[in-house]
Amino acid sequence: MIWHNQFQIRVFRALTISVLFFMLIFDTPHTQEKEMAALAPMGALGEFTEMEKQIIFNSLQESLSTHYALASQKSFDAALTQAFEELEYDECTEDQCFALIQQILQADNLFLFNMTREGNFTQLSLTRVDLDSQRLVPHG
């Protein structure tokens, strides 16, 4: 049991370091004023506890907020609802919905974060979508 807890602590440290590494890769604004950005709800595939998901998501939010003015999750949810109401079913492709959400939130960047776990292997994927719906994926 002690070994299992130590292993979990090492995994959390590695995940946090990985998230911070992702942040260093992005081209961040160098002016005093932060660019507006949004963080979509996290996707998770595999076995993650709610605590693990929350800790990792909070760490990512904190890291992003040092470089960007982040829209709240409540604002993101409202913009998502508005996008679904404004676009017809066949118009609501992923890219069009993202672009409309960014427009509603006036966010230059939208971040998509996914975690996948299979056994002892965990993969983190952070994607930045800019205003032109260009996906910038430094690492997956």
The model's pLDDT over 10-24, given as tens digits with 9 standing for 90+, comes to 656 556 556 555 555
pLDDT bracket for residue 116 (50, 70, 90):
very high
**Residue 22's pLDDT is what?**
57
Q: Which residue has the tokens 């942040």?
A: 23
Per-residue pLDDT at 140: 45
Average pLDDT (78-85) is 90
For the chain, the average pLDDT equals 80
More confidently predicted of 48 and 32: 48
Spatial separation of the C-alpha atoms in residues 105 and 4, rounded to whole Å: 42
Q: How far apart are CA 81 and CA 6, in angstroms?
A: 42
C-beta atoms surrounding 80 within 10 Å: 19
pLDDT at 72 over 80: yes
- Compute the average pLDDT of residues 119-140: 76
Tell me, what's the pLDDT at 48?
92
2-25+35-136 maps to CATH 1.10.8: no
- What is residue 5's predicted lDDT score, i.e. its pLDDT? 52
37 neighbors 110 (Cβ within 8 angstroms): yes
Q: What are phi and psi of 12, to 5 degrees?
A: -60, -40
> Of 26, 19, 22, 25, which Cα lies nearest the Cα of 55?
19
